[in-house]
Chain A
């Protein structure tokens, strides 16, 4: 599909980005020392911090990825919503207050509060970097997705644009402006998603009985692309993919439902028949590749229960390992939130534990409400007639476009700036890890405050550039799926160390270091060897993968705990600060 840019959309978009940058510059002037740069002097009001949690968290993955997955497959995308939110319970009830009490700038500070070991700082710093970079990939992919329909730019241009703007924000500003930007964006995203949901319910459903034709994309050996049998383009005689997404049958054979109530929405869909699209690929003898998208009428009751998407199809099979993949992901989502470095650093921007707790509760309220809306928005997009069959990430913005151009412009601009904010937060977390954790643990040089901030800004530029490249490379994957991986790595590497330190007195520093490294390496290795990566990234057959299922969490999270306990028991007893450890 091509996407026509509209002047209105571009105007609103540029205005939003301009205001965001303006706020950053204005607030950034005050953040000169490292307490201001990394932790906003601990002066952010708890309510603002709470909404900023929502802004950080409701990133590209939630808005684009979850809505897209629901729009393509139904209920399965909502499983991510549930898992992402449940993770906040772990964050609030288990780690929020101790984190606030123990740390100063980074998550490594908290882990290290008891031991003061450079080894812990180093290990935690490396894992912060690994998780942040992994989490950055989907954000960058999402950014590229947003600018396509909005500005009519190619995907890579969006990624570069976001990268450049974020680097400017982080270098000029720091945590104060990042927080306020996230506060504004988080609030706006929830508000306008509510508007969109109300409009979906007002519009109701409409039936289109005749089945749409299959669509094809042929990539010929000489590089030309045929769409639906015609050369790709917009002029007469050229072909484009048609937007899809329709209901073929409504209950009682009616043509139009009219406005629906929030529950009626589901009960109507339950008894309807929706046209989903399946994709198949075939290679011709002449070196061409044909991708065919075929309509597939599906009963609504199938769509509204788990297991309809390829990702979760395992739960409808009788094979136990297929079910494990699902259990593994749900475990990683549950454990992951409390281990995400860019969420954890937000506990240092408020004044005390009570404020940390209150802001988490505000965050849970905003995020939970938004996730309820994702189900309406996703199913609304599924039946909106505006979907692009080639790109699930585009569903939510296209849904907004099917309502009104203005709403589309506003929602895309908000989503884009939310991506900006999330990416800034992640880059800031990485920069903090580099300066506080890595540099100060491997060198003995004492840095002045100004030097620290300068090094952090240099680190921010480097991480930003890496993120731009990865964002272009991983274009094809659903962003929520990618975030699931980031959660797996975070939960495997960080959670065992964090939880055991808080609740088990015999934890030793060696135990923490080894557990972080084992958790990180095993989960990363598993992901890189998984069938999904084989198929989507290397282009190899899925069956060649050496690991039995794609999601590592159910193996690597317990592995992290076991490693920590085993190593702690082995090294316990002599756990007084030992000079021997300085070499790590």
Chain B
């Protein structure tokens, strides 16, 4: 699984893991920090919680964007024809095109 998508996925995953881990450890070992109200009278627990949700969406969009480039450049002529991606690594072994649908129709 050394292909580019998987590597991007892993990097983003580690970023999120650190962010989530920070939340869990803070809640477990420093509840007093969570109770502080740094901004607008709303405490850190709520800010951090909302930030985790926003970060999940943000990372998902970044991942979707980065992978889209690769898909266009390497093995998917059908989705967006005529837009070769300059950065795509054609030398990397690409997975076989999407597993064919085994449906009878």
Contacts and interface: CB of A to CB of B under 8 A. Distances in A.
B42 A263 contact: yes
B53 A41 contact: no
A375 B50 CA distance: 10
Contacts of B37: 267, 270
A314 to B, nearest CB: 8
B41 interface: yes
Contact of B13 (A36, A82, A94, A330): A94
Interface centre among B41, B54, B59, B61 (most CB of A within 10 A): B41
Contact of A354 (B6, B31, B76, B96): B76
A288 B49 CA distance: 44
Contacts of A316: 31
B74 to A, nearest CB: 12
A42 B16 contact: no
Interface in A39-82: 39, 41-43, 75, 78-79, 81-82
Nearest to A96: B9
B99 A82 contact: no
A551 B76 CA distance: 44
Interface in A1-47: 33, 35-36, 39, 41-43
Contacts of B105: 35-36, 41
Interface string B42-70: 11011001101110110111011001100
Given A270-B42, A323-B29, A82 B53 contact: yes
B13 A89 contact: yes
B79 interface: yes
A92 B54 CA distance: 15
Please give me the 8 A-B residue pairs with the lowest Cβ-Cβ distance, nearest first.
Answer: A267-B41, A352-B98, A35-B103, A41-B103, A93-B9, A42-B101, A93-B13, A368-B53
A483 interface: no
Contacts of A75: 45-46
Size category of the A interface is: 35 or more
A104 B53 contact: no
B99 A102 contact: yes
B101 A503 contact: no
A99 to B, nearest CB: 10
B24 to A, nearest CB: 5
A581 interface: no
Nearest to A316: B31
Interface of B: 1, 5-6, 9-10, 12-13, 16, 20, 23-24, 27-29, 31, 34-35, 37, 40-43, 45-46, 49-50, 52-54, 56-57, 59-61, 63-64, 67-68, 71, 76, 79, 95-99, 101-105
28 contacts: A43-B103, A75-B46, A81-B53, A82-B49, A85-B53, A85-B56, A97-B5, A98-B6, A101-B98, A263-B41, A263-B42, A266-B41, A301-B35, A304-B46, A305-B45, A306-B31, A323-B28, A323-B29, A326-B28, A327-B24, A352-B76, A354-B71, A357-B63, A360-B60, A365-B57, A368-B56, A371-B53, A372-B50
A485 interface: no
A306 B101 contact: no
B16 A89 contact: yes
Given A41-B101, A88-B56, A315-B28, A93 B63 contact: yes
A86 B52 contact: yes
B1 to A, nearest CB: 5
B98 A351 contact: yes
Contact of A326 (B6, B27, B57): B27
A361 B45 contact: no
A370 to B, nearest CB: 10
A97 B5 CA distance: 9
Nearest to A366: B57
Nearest to A329: B24
A330 to B, nearest CB: 5
B99 A100 contact: yes
B49 to A, nearest CB: 5
Contact of B40 (A103, A267, A271, A326): A267
B13 A78 contact: no
Interface string A187-218: 00000000000000000000000000000000
Interface in A123-153: none
B64 A358 contact: yes
B98 A86 contact: no
A502 interface: yes
Contacts of B96: 101
Contacts of B13: 89-90, 93-94
B41 A82 contact: no
B103 A263 contact: no
A93 B12 contact: yes
B99 A104 contact: yes
Interface string A320-354: 00010011001000100000000000000001111
Contacts of A371: 53
B28 to A, nearest CB: 5
A204 to B, nearest CB: 16
Contacts of A394: none
A66 to B, nearest CB: 12
Contacts of A352: 76, 97-99
Contact of A330 (B24, B34, B60, B99): B24
Contact of A270 (B27, B43, B98): B43
Contacts of B23: 82
Given A93-B59, A364-B57, 4 more contacts: A93-B13, A326-B28, A357-B63, A365-B60
Nearest to B23: A82
A307 interface: yes
B63 A94 contact: no
Nearest to A501: B1
A304 B99 contact: no
A327 B103 contact: no
Given A35-B101, A93-B9, A357-B63, A86 B20 contact: yes
Contacts of A315: 27-28, 31
A39 B56 contact: no
B52 to A, nearest CB: 5
